[in-house]
């Protein structure tokens, strides 16, 4: 049944494209070889477009499954306070879905594993995490493991985790709708640019017909190819994994970037830039002496860039590092909030280091070293990430100090407040990432206009050439 359904969809796509492609070719008055070439170009892209549609549906189903799993797991754990009982309770809700087999596998691992050196619950939950690589899923699992091992009051934390899940669901759905809207705009842009080119070719009088010109026909096929390429690029962005939270730099790149920003020596870097600029100036002068004007012009243009390249490099490195901190700090703060349920602030800081994001580890090392010298000082908290001036970091660290000093009142309320602030920060950081993801599609929206404009310009050049040629023969 499933195979016949897929075959029907595949056949329908090829038929629709054939009708659309042949109709467009006829409207452009393409000769038979160019019409065949145009059809072949489209047929090469169709499998990719169909795969994108399948991937989009697949990732949407996975998102729905893991979203429902996290919600039901938290509600069930609130009642049972046991991971195994919670898994058994929610399994029935995923009947005949991949998640059911995965929960069954995790459940059997907990029940039947006796010789494991590690934590069987941790290993069982890791099986689910491997199939659904999602930061929020890991956060919830770590929370459940900590509560099961240490106990304590956790109702408020579960409420906040449920709210966080709800915000995540809203963000992901909004992002998907925004991407679909951009794809629709790109589609309209492609259709309008093609129609404009068709109108120009069709309105010309018969004695000025340029549609059979080889350059015009070649440009039509190239435009068709480029427009399909643009659409495929936009479509690919919609088919991305919903669970993917974005690419982070490797640990080595993060450490290198952090050192570049924190150990930046302005005078030393300026000297380097001056050397590069002087070297380029010498090359420019040699080009002038040898009468190579184009090469000299390029070299002279590059001199100002070389003089300020150290500043540009520093700003780019700091911008990238700041973006990573904005994303990773709220996640580390969530880990800290869970550790604070059972440990002091300093012990929690020490325990959080092992699983802390790479971008935060250098500052955490500095902070912990300062606290060992003076455990009651506020300066280590205030100086944490002070060079980057990121909204929310300073207030969160002040709250941690207040909790450490015991001057902030009820500790449970303070932890809840930290979690609440963390939730807002994480939501803002992820929205910024989503905006960047959608912003990258704006260029693709303008691409069909540029492509269509280039095609029209070539058509006009051919048209005026024909006009002048006709005038010449008349004279």
For residue 425, count other CB atoms closer than 10 A to its CB. Answer: 23
Closest CA relative to residue 210, chosen from 37, 29, 27, 451: 29
Rg (C-alpha) for the chain, rounded Å, is 31
Q: How confident is the model at residue 104 (pLDDT cuts 50, 70, 90)?
A: very high
CA dist., res. 48 & res. 41, Å (int): 12
The alpha carbon of residue 287 and the mean position of all alpha carbons in its chain are separated, in whole angstroms, by: 44
Highest mean pLDDT among 70-74, 80-84, 286-290: 70-74
Q: How confident is the model at residue 295 (pLDDT cuts 50, 70, 90)?
A: confident
pLDDT at position 474 is: 44
Closest CA relative to residue 333, chosen from 361, 354, 350, 356: 356
More confident residue, 390 or 109: 109
CA distances from 425 to 221, 412, 421, 430 (A): 49, 20, 6, 9
pLDDT at position 475 is: 44
pLDDT at position 103 is: 92
pLDDT score of 117 more than 70: no
Region 61-83 average pLDDT? 91
Residue labelled with tokens 């093609």: 194
Question: What's 356's DSSP letter?
Answer: S
pLDDT score of 272 more than 60: yes
CA dist., res. 411 & res. 396, Å (int): 14
- The answer to whether the predicted template modeling score (pTM) of the entire model surpasses 0.85 is no
Q: Check: CB of residue 144 under 8 Å from CB of residue 126.
A: no
Question: What's 409's DSSP letter?
Answer: S
pLDDT score of 68 more than 90: yes
CA dist., res. 236 & res. 259, Å (int): 36
Highest mean pLDDT among 166-170, 295-299, 461-465: 166-170
pLDDT score of 78 more than 60: yes
pLDDT score of 354 more than 90: no
CA dist., res. 181 & res. 198, Å (int): 26
pLDDT score of 41 more than 80: yes
pLDDT score of 376 more than 60: yes
Tens of pLDDT, residues 415-441 = 677 677 767 777 777 777 777 777 777
CA distances from 208 to 144, 205, 470 (A): 77, 5, 9
Element (H, E) at 335: helix 293-339
Q: How confident is the model at residue 30 (pLDDT cuts 50, 70, 90)?
A: confident
pLDDT at position 73 is: 93
pLDDT at position 152 is: 63
Q: Check: CB of residue 189 under 8 Å from CB of residue 449.
A: yes
More confident residue, 411 or 112: 112
CA dist., res. 157 & res. 338, Å (int): 8
Region 233-248 average pLDDT? 74
Please, how many CA atoms are within 13 Å of residue 106, restricted to the half-sphere of its CB? 27
pLDDT at position 2 is: 56
For residue 187, count other CB atoms closer than 10 A to its CB. Answer: 16
Where does 204-250 have alpha helices with state H? 214-238
pLDDT at position 75 is: 92
pLDDT at position 66 is: 93
CA dist., res. 221 & res. 39, Å (int): 9
Region 216-230 average pLDDT? 90
Region 189-202 average pLDDT? 89
Closest CA relative to residue 220, chosen from 41, 65, 30: 30
CA dist., res. 211 & res. 208, Å (int): 9
């Amino acid at each position: 049944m499933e195979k016949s359904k897929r075959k029907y969809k595949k056949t329908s796509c090829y038929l629709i494209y054939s009708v659309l492609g042949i109709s467009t070719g006829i409207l452009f008055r393409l000769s038979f070889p160019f019409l065949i070439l145009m059809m072949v170009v489209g047929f090469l892209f169709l499998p990719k477009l169909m795969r994108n549609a399948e991937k989009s549906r697949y990732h949407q189903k996975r998102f729905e499954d893991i979203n429902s799993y996290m919600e039901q797991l938290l509600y069930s754990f609130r009642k049972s306070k046991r991971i195994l009982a919670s898994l058994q309770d929610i399994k029935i809700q995923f009947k005949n879905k991949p998640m059911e087999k995965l929960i069954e596998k995790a459940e059997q691992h907990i029940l039947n594993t006796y010789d494991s050196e590690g934590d069987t619950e941790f290993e069982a939950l890791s099986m689910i995490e491997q199939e659904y690589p999602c930061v929020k899923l890991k956060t919830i699992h770590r929370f459940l493991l900590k509560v099961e091992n240490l106990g304590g009051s956790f109702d408020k934390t579960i409420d906040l985790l449920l709210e966080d899940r709800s915000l995540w669901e809203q963000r992901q759905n909004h992002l998907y709708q925004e991407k679909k809207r951009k794809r629709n705009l790109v589609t309209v842009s492609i259709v309008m640019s093609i129609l404009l080119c068709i109108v120009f070719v069709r309105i010309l009088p018969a004695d000025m017909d340029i549609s059979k010109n080889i350059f015009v026909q070649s440009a039509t096929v190239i435009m068709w190819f480029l427009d399909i390429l643009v659409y495929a690029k936009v479509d690919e962005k919609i088919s991305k994994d919903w669970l993917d939270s974005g690419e982070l730099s490797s640990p080595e790149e993060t450490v290198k970037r952090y050192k570049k920003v924190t150990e930046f020596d302005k005078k030393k870097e300026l000297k380097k830039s001056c050397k590069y600029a002087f070297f380029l100036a010498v090359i420019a002068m040699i080009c002038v002496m040898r009468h190579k004007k184009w090469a000299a012009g390029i070299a002279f243009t590059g001199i100002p860039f070389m003089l300020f390249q150290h500043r540009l490099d520093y700003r780019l490195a700091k911008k990238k590092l700041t973006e990573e901190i904005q994303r990773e700090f709220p996640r580390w703060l969530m880990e800290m909030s869970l550790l604070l349920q059972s440990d002091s602030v300093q012990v929690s800081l020490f325990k959080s280091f092992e699983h802390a994001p790479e971008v935060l580890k250098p500052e955490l090392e500095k902070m912990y070293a300062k606290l060992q010298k003076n455990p009651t000082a506020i300066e280590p908290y205030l100086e944490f990430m002070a060079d980057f001036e990121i909204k929310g970091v300073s207030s969160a660290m002040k709250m941690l100090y207040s909790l450490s000093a015991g001057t902030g009142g009820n500790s449970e309320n303070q932890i809840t407040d930290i979690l609440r602030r963390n939730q807002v920060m994480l939501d803002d950081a992820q929205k910024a990432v989503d905006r960047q993801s959608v912003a990258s599609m704006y260029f693709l929206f303008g691409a069909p206009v540029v492509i269509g404009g280039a095609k029209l310009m070539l058509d006009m050049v051919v048209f005026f050439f024909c006009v002048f040629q006709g005038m010449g023969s008349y004279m």
